[in-house]
Amino acid sequence: MAAQLSHRLPTTVTPERYAIRLTPDLTTWTFTGEEQVTIHIHQPVGMIVANAAELAIDSVSIKDAKGKLLSGNIALDHDHERACFSFPADLPVGRSELSIKFSGILNDKLHGFYRSTYKGADGKEQPLASTQFESTDARRAFPCWDEPAFKAVYQVTLVVDEKLTAISNAGVIRETPLPGTGKKEVVFADSMKMSTYLVAFIVGEFEATEPVMVGNTPLRVWAVPGKKRLANFAVDIGKASLEHFGAYYAIPYPGDKLDLIAIPDFASGAMENLGAITFRETALLVDAANATRAELERVADVVSHENAHMWFGDLVTMRWWNGLWLNEAFATFMEMLAVDAWKPEWRRWDSFTVSRAAAMQVDGLKSTRPIEFPVEKPEEAAGMFDVLTYEKGASVLRMLEQYLGADAFRDGIRLYLQRHQYDNAETTDLWDALEDSTKQPVRALMDTWIFQPGYPLISVMKEGKTLVLSQQIFRYIQDGTDLARRWHVPIFLRVGTRGGTVTKTLLMTGAEQRVEFSDDIESAVVNAGGHGFYRVRYSAELATALKGGLAKTLSAVERFGLMNDAWATTLAGPTSLTDYLDLIELLRDEDDVNVWTTVIGSSHHLARILDDGQCAELEKRLRALIAPAVARLGWTVKAGESELASQLRGDLIGALGTVANDEPTQTRAQELFAAHQKGTDDVDRNLIPALVAIVAHTGGSDDYEMFSRRFKTAQTPQEETRYLFALGNFRDPQLIDHTLDLTINGEVRTQNSPYLMRGILLNRHARDKAWVFMKSHWDEMLRQYPDNSIPRMCEGIIGLVTKELEADVNSFFAKHPVKQGSKQMEQHLERLHVAVACKQRWQSSLRG
Ligand SMILES: [Zn+2]
């Protein structure tokens, strides 16, 4: 197995405790460090192998049992990111202390120990340093055993400028000035036993909220100067979710304090470093009085997600990266639970259907992957942070929870955490705990969802008193492969019979299942409640029965499922475009924001596929559908209306003014936005994103200038990104050129540029230019942008829907492979192919 495991460290020597002292220099962007690592030598070895990357190692020595110091030779293996320390004689079995001196750089790639900047009150750029170690970047900050199974204790000391704040995983024991140097030494307590990827160091000028006690844990939110005023909402959900998880898991929070820290440059959304969680500013700092409901929900989601990780991920950790889903799917599932408990009026599990649908979209491709699959190299671990790990993973857990019952499921989770705390675990350990706790065949059920890619389409028909169900893999492109694949499918039935409504839950394991009822069947809902990770195709008569009284027979989540499944089969072929457009016309009276989300999403998708003439016809039909709904809701908030209703108004007006191209709506939106700018009209916060989208869609250079200014002078992170990303939605070619320049000219943070670029690729008026630009600046983008953002940016290629562009895209990526996201790239290319096939198939549809 040696060849296969070439990236894995030997287990002959393991770390127990690191004492790390780092001195970062924020003017030269470098750091020096030393560490004493208490190690356990399990068999006599002459060489110790650990991970190191982009580090210079000056010296290494080891203290033997008698206290004698032996110095070692250092050899660096750059390809495998390793340091090999060899000693003149074999080291004896037992405990020993390894001392290493090293130095490194504070890089600008937003991983390892890296630099960030922000504007101070005087407008001058100020430096700070932060870390991002997951998956394999702790090795850029200190030599270490950088695999999740090598858990150890960390005692950190940071030497920093006197005026700066230093934060790490554990609480500060003491701060001592170092006279004559302008520096101080900040010594932190020992951390709990944990994996390297959870270690964190943050250094800079920061302000904190007053600590709030959650049990024995002081909770604070940190931000760069001037932004503390945006921290209160995060404190509230931080406290609520920490309390929620303590009770749910029945284990106290494992750290000694909890800091939530907003970092101005951040590659992902947030990172669950134990006790020192880092966030991008939009995911933590928000003006609760002026942000939209969706923006608040995002902060609540991310804070809850990271807090959930303190147990799921930090206390119990996957043994290796193949088990990443154990961390991420659970944190995503728990995030919904906590937010739903905190604000039930947001109906968080209902809006989760939108995330589930996003996972089903990718998982319906031939190029999908199982939730868990073998991982060896660092870039393969990096490729696992996707919609299948997070959203599909969370969806199948929700399906399991609903099948087992919420309390039984929770008890199994408690048992799992109890058994494996301060240690590592594998997927099989979770099934053991759930089976022991529930006595149900959890493993057999879940193995079909975790180790097998894709999901089934359940076809359903009635024969008198019998309901006939069958399963077959769902694919956007049916090529006849994998037809024998079967899942253990929890089926949630609600069947209308002559004798009344019958609900039933069953587990379907074979290709076909017949379910008997005592009376003749009149209607049937399969996947009642919408928790199942599958699609449903009803026979013609059952479909007619459902459509007859949509709002009366189906819950909002079930209507979402019906529409979303229909859209999927439209892309796949069995449903014609005309039939789909006829179906969505049944939504005239619809008032659920998520149902409309799937319809509006499919409209934008259609607009990227269809030609100009077809788009004009589509716009006409969308106006006929959406205008009455907007008329019903009005443009202003009604007394006592729910936040979801306010959000729906914004979403519908936004769609009417953009993808439905309704001129009166556009005029009114422009007027309202101008009044809002002048402060003469108090526009509802949930309407503002719609006005911004419409003004960008219709606007000229004056609007562009104004958006540009508002981006640069924004008062909140949400406002900043709203105006920035809107710059990608203008239609004028010169303005598009200007936005394209912004993606690489240094005016936009590299944490945002890739997503701006993705937006321009998805703008049908800009996509040709955007593609030419991306090809010609590809190397520049790779140099500037964080590695994890490249495959996400490339999602924009799904908008390049012509046969010619598709061929060009394929040939470009054949020559320029994206190694950290090869699976996602395959999926983007297949999604593009599905869209191009639709374009061909719909040539003669929607002609006026
Ligand atoms: Zn996570």
The confidence score (pLDDT) of residue 785 equals 97
Q: How far apart are CA 579 and CA 842, in angstroms?
A: 12
Confidence of residue 399 (pLDDT cuts 50, 70, 90): very high
pLDDT digits (tens, 9 = 90+) for 618-677: 999 999 999 999 999 999 999 999 999 999 999 999 999 999 999 999 999 999 999 999
Q: How far apart are CA 757 and CA 773, in angstroms?
A: 10
- Contact status, residue 683 vs residue 668, Cβ threshold 8 Å: no
- Contact status, residue 307 vs residue 270, Cβ threshold 8 Å: no
Distance between Cα 680 and ligand 1 center (Å): 42
pLDDT digits (tens, 9 = 90+) for 799-833: 999 999 999 999 999 999 998 899 999 999 999 99
Q: For 46-64, what is the mean pLDDT?
A: 96
Q: Is the pLDDT confidence value at 377 over 90?
A: no
Tokens at 381, concatenated = 């671990």
Distance between Cα 811 and ligand 1 center (Å): 34
- Annotated catalytic, 207? no
Q: For 392-420, what is the mean pLDDT?
A: 98
Bigger pLDDT: 760 or 3? 760
**Residues sharing a CB contact under 8 Å with residue 702, sequence separation 6 or more, in sequence order:** none
Phi, psi of 842 (to 5 degrees): -95, 15
Give 294-352 as a DSSP string. HHHHHHHHHHHHHHHHTTBTTTEEESSGGGHHHHHHHHHHHHHHHHHHH-GGG-HHHHH
Distance between Cα 331 and ligand 1 center (Å): 6
The confidence score (pLDDT) of residue 551 equals 67
The confidence score (pLDDT) of residue 367 equals 97
Distance between Cα 500 and ligand 1 center (Å): 44
Q: Is the pLDDT confidence value at 553 over 60?
A: yes
Q: Is the pLDDT confidence value at 4 over 70?
A: no
As a whole number, the mean pLDDT across the chain is 96
Residues in the chain: 848
The confidence score (pLDDT) of residue 59 equals 98
Tokens at 499, concatenated = 């004798």
Helix (H) or strand (E) holding 621: helix 612-633
Bigger pLDDT: 336 or 552? 336
pLDDT digits (tens, 9 = 90+) for 299-319: 999 999 999 999 999 999 999
Distance between Cα 696 and ligand 1 center (Å): 33
pLDDT digits (tens, 9 = 90+) for 219-254: 999 999 999 999 999 999 999 999 999 999 999 999
Helices (H) and strands (E) in the chain, counts: 28, 30
The confidence score (pLDDT) of residue 820 equals 86
Q: Is the pLDDT confidence value at 5 over 60?
A: no
Distance between Cα 389 and ligand 1 center (Å): 10
Determine which one of 34, 35, 272, 306 is catalytic.
Answer: 306
Task: Tell me how far CA of residue 603 lies from CA of 475, 608, 619, 797, in angstroms.
Answer: 21, 9, 9, 18
Distance between Cα 589 and ligand 1 center (Å): 38
DSSP 529: G
Tokens at 415, concatenated = 């048992």
DSSP 730: -
Distance between Cα 269 and ligand 1 center (Å): 9
Q: What is the 3-state secondary structure (H, E, C) of 286-303?
A: CCCCCCCHHHHHHHHHHH
Helix (H) or strand (E) holding 612: helix 612-633
Distance between Cα 730 and ligand 1 center (Å): 34
Distance between Cα 446 and ligand 1 center (Å): 21
Distance between Cα 318 and ligand 1 center (Å): 13
Q: What is the three-class DSSP state of 99? A: strand
Distance between Cα 327 and ligand 1 center (Å): 7
> Sign of torsion, CA 521 522 528 530?
positive
The confidence score (pLDDT) of residue 2 equals 35
The confidence score (pLDDT) of residue 68 equals 85
Distance between Cα 118 and ligand 1 center (Å): 26
Distance between Cα 369 and ligand 1 center (Å): 19
315: nearest Cα among 236, 418, 240: 418
Tally of CB atoms within 10 A around 252: 11
Q: What is the three-class DSSP state of 843? A: coil
Q: Give long-range contacts, CB 8 A cutoff, 24+ apart: 117-121.
A: 117/264, 117/265, 118/224, 118/264, 120/205, 120/225, 121/225, 121/226
Q: Is the pLDDT confidence value at 688 over 50?
A: yes
Confidence of residue 548 (pLDDT cuts 50, 70, 90): confident
pLDDT digits (tens, 9 = 90+) for 165-188: 999 999 999 999 999 999 999 999
Distance between Cα 307 and ligand 1 center (Å): 9
DSSP 388: I
Percentage of the chain modeled with pLDDT above 70: 99
Residues with CB under 5 A from ligand 1 (ion): 328, 331
Tokens at 359, concatenated = 């996972």
Distance between Cα 301 and ligand 1 center (Å): 11
Q: Taking the CA atoms of the chain, what radius of gyration do you get in angstroms?
A: 28
Distance between Cα 271 and ligand 1 center (Å): 7
The confidence score (pLDDT) of residue 26 equals 98
Distance between Cα 699 and ligand 1 center (Å): 38
Distance between Cα 328 and ligand 1 center (Å): 5
pLDDT digits (tens, 9 = 90+) for 420-467: 999 999 999 999 999 999 999 999 999 999 999 999 999 999 999 999
The confidence score (pLDDT) of residue 1 equals 31
pLDDT digits (tens, 9 = 90+) for 713-757: 999 999 999 999 999 999 999 999 999 999 999 999 999 999 999
Distance between Cα 191 and ligand 1 center (Å): 20
The confidence score (pLDDT) of residue 3 equals 37
Helix, strand, coil percentages, rounded to 5, for the chain? 45, 25, 30
Q: How far apart are CA 162 and CA 155, in angstroms?
A: 21
Distance between Cα 594 and ligand 1 center (Å): 24
Cis peptide before 135 (omega within 30 of 0): yes
Could you tell me the pTM of the whole model?
0.97
For 742, counting Cβ atoms within 10 Å of its Cβ (0-12 exposed, 13-18 middle, 19+ buried), the class is buried
Q: What is the three-class DSSP state of 270? A: strand
Tokens at 137, concatenated = 């970047």
Q: How far apart are CA 428 and CA 53, in angstroms?
A: 33
Q: For 774-788, what is the mean pLDDT?
A: 97
Lowest mean pLDDT of 67-81, 273-287, 768-782, name the range: 67-81
Helix (H) or strand (E) holding 446: helix 442-450
